[in-house]
Amino acid sequence: MTAPEAENATIEPILIAMPVEDWQIIDGTIDNTVVMAATDGDNRRVDQGQNVREAGWEAARAHPRVEDGWGGWPPQGEEIAIALPFASWRFVVGELRRWDLIDADVEIRDPNMPESQSLAIAHLVAQRIGDGS
């Protein structure tokens, strides 16, 4: 791949379908990130997070069963497809992992569950975008 092709590959949106409830975990996680970034004055992170959330809201509005769900979301159990550039998906994966570490510090985890739902989603997204980090 030439340098311009590599650059375009990271800009072109990657469409990932997942259960609505998984996207809602991403949306809530990124909401936490945006709130903390705004408090810290990190406008770049605020913008990045808002772009991710807006992509999800757009996908929810376009979903054929949006009226059947709660709060503007399609019903849980439905699939939702979100299109984001590679860098935005990496941001999502990083934030899911970061907030999972914070959660692990403050919540008692079930020793029978090998990983949290957030971490499972992070692994799934990383796999789908081909990011081994």
User: Quick one: CA torsion of 15, 21, 25, 26, rounded to 10 degrees?
Assistant: 10
What is the pTM (predicted TM-score) of this model? 0.85
Q: Could you tell me the pLDDT band of residue 10, with boundaries at 50, 70 and 90?
A: low
Place of tokens 């992509």: 55
> Residue 132's pLDDT is what?
63
d(CA 74, CA 51): 20
Q: Does 8 have pLDDT greater than 50?
A: no
Residue at 76 is within a domain? yes
Residue at 91 is within a domain? yes
Total number of domains in the chain: 1
Q: What is the pLDDT of residues 35-52, one digit of tens each?
A: 999 999 999 999 999 999
> Residue 95's pLDDT is what?
97
Q: Could you tell me the pLDDT band of residue 133, with boundaries at 50, 70 and 90?
A: low
Q: Domain of residue 85: give its range.
A: 38-115
d(CA 44, CA 10): 18
Residue at 12 is within a domain? no
Q: Does 114 have pLDDT greater than 90?
A: no
Residue at 17 is within a domain? no
Q: Could you tell me the pLDDT band of residue 2, with boundaries at 50, 70 and 90?
A: very low
Q: Work out the average pLDDT over 81-105.
A: 93
Residue at 8 is within a domain? no
Among the listed residues 4, 15, 11, the one whose alpha carbon sits nearest the alpha carbon of residue 129:
15
Residue at 57 is within a domain? yes
Residue at 13 is within a domain? no
> Residue 34's pLDDT is what?
98
> Residue 109's pLDDT is what?
66
